Amino acid sequence: MTARVVFRKASRWYGPVMALNDVSFELGPGVFGLLGPNGAGKSSLLKLACGQLRPSQGTVELLGRPAFGSPEVFHSVGLCSDTDAFFEDFTGLQFVSALLSLNGFDRAEAEKLATAAIETVDLKDAMHRKIGGYSKGMRQRIKLAQALAHQPEVLFLDEPLTGMDPQNRKRISDLMKRLGEEGRTVLVSTHILHELEQVTRRVLLIHNGRVLAEGDLGEIRDLLDRHPRSVRLKARDARGLARELVLLPDLVSLNLEDATGHLLAEIRKPDAFFSRVQELSATFGVEEMWVTDENLESVFSYLVRK
């Protein structure tokens, strides 16, 4: 199987700032994680990969063509960016259909494909509602739907699970996994290791614009487990949820913020924590969950030292 995304000694800098430095890798079919802390160069790498930026040095190829300046590849490429840009007055269906019309689909086919994609991300009930009224998680899902709708061969997903509730995290993780099993190339960018674990073992670890490691997630995961991580939760009954969570043995700390009503937890074993939250989500109305994980930074520092 030929590689669909190829970086050869690619570098990108903005004036004196080096965003990406001498990066080389190849991606074939399957799901790949692009893991790194904020500011590591993930978004620059994604923008290079999907042709939004020209490499300052080296080459980036997408589906056998130079990624920059080949808009025709977007017949087969989908991008779910980290931006929060929508046509707020459009309904979900209109939004996805409108973007499909840019791919050249006629109205009937665009609506058909859009409906199918919206169903895939489980947003069918809300597809006739205006996007302006969507929650953060719904906006993430409609963004994913527009990236999937034209059935691309290569998908770039930038922080796709941000702001989703546990159930939808699971659903979208399963979807990404399925897309990889279908033979698509899916590159998922995230700074949350746990998100990746559910969909792939293959990761690119990036830090300070360099690829630090490329390979199995397990080893990186072991490193990370030595460091507690912070998770923020929004729930209808935050106090009730807190009473249950304090019973977890690997909970380092738990705070209920008066101002926001959010729970802020520090945890050591994320697997057990996330599983427990998922079990409790219906009872206590868990609406959103974010991993505000600054501690990844220390793992990367550790890797750099190593």
Partner 1 sequence: MSSTQIYEQHYRRLDASIPLRNNRWIPIAREGLKALFALRAYLGLIAIAWLPVFVRLVQVYFTTRFPEARRIVPVDDKLFCDFLGQQIPWMLLMSALAGAGLIANDMRTGGLLLYLSRPLTLSDYIFGKVAILFVSLSMVTLIPGLVLFLGARSLAPDVLGGMSHLLLVPKIVAFALVLVLPTTGLVLAMSALARNARFAGLGFFFVFVGSTVAQAIAWRATRSSYAGLISIQASMRRVGEAIFGLKPSRMTADLPPEWALAVLAVLFLSCLVILKTRVRAVEIVK
Which chain residues interact with partner 1 by CB under 8 A?
1, 14, 17, 19, 25-30, 32, 38-39, 41-44, 47, 50, 52-53, 62-65, 71-79, 81-87, 89-90, 98-99, 101-104, 146-147, 150-153, 181-184, 202, 204, 214-215
What is the nearest approach in angstroms of partner 1 to the Cβ of residue 212?
A: 14
Q: If you count them, how many residues does the chain have?
A: 306
Cβ nearer to partner 1, comparing 183 with 261: 183
| Radius of gyration, CA atoms only, the chain | 20
Cβ nearer to partner 1, comparing 131 with 251: 131
Instruction: Tell me the pairing of strands 185-190 and 30-35.
Output: parallel
For residue 117 the two structure tokens come to 């994609």
Cβ nearer to partner 1, comparing 29 with 228: 29
What is the nearest approach in angstroms of partner 1 to the Cβ of residue 279?
A: 32
Task: Give the residue from 91, 88, 97, 89 showing the smallest Cα distance to 129.
Answer: 91
What is the nearest approach in angstroms of partner 1 to the Cβ of residue 242?
A: 33
Cβ nearer to partner 1, comparing 181 with 257: 181
Q: Is 223 helix (H, G, I), strand (E, B) or coil?
A: helix
Cβ nearer to partner 1, comparing 205 with 291: 205
Q: Are 120 and 167 in contact (CB under 8 A)?
A: no
What is the nearest approach in angstroms of partner 1 to the Cβ of residue 185?
A: 10
Extract the runs of DSSP E, i.e. beta strands, from the chain: 5-14, 17-27, 30-35, 57-62, 65-66, 77-80, 154-158, 185-190, 202-207, 210-216, 229-235, 251-256, 263-267, 286-291
Cβ nearer to partner 1, comparing 216 with 237: 216
C-alpha distances in Å from residue 241, one per residue of 193, 255, 273, 281, 292: 24, 12, 12, 8, 19
Cβ nearer to partner 1, comparing 71 with 249: 71
In terms of DSSP H, where are the helices of 198-293?
217-224, 238-245, 270-284
Task: State the Cα–Cα distance between residues 14 and 247, nearest whole angstrom.
Answer: 49
What is the nearest approach in angstroms of partner 1 to the Cβ of residue 249?
A: 36
What is the nearest approach in angstroms of partner 1 to the Cβ of residue 194?
A: 21
- Contacting residues for 188 by C-beta, under 8 A, at least 6 apart: 31, 32, 33, 34, 157, 160, 176, 195, 196, 199, 200
Cβ nearer to partner 1, comparing 113 with 245: 113
Task: State the Cα–Cα distance between residues 143 and 156, nearest whole angstrom.
Answer: 12
Q: Is 208 helix (H, G, I), strand (E, B) or coil?
A: coil
Task: Look at the alpha carbons of 204, 178, 62, 81 in this order and tell me if their dihedral is positive or negative.
Answer: negative
What is the nearest approach in angstroms of partner 1 to the Cβ of residue 137?
A: 19
What is the nearest approach in angstroms of partner 1 to the Cβ of residue 193?
A: 17
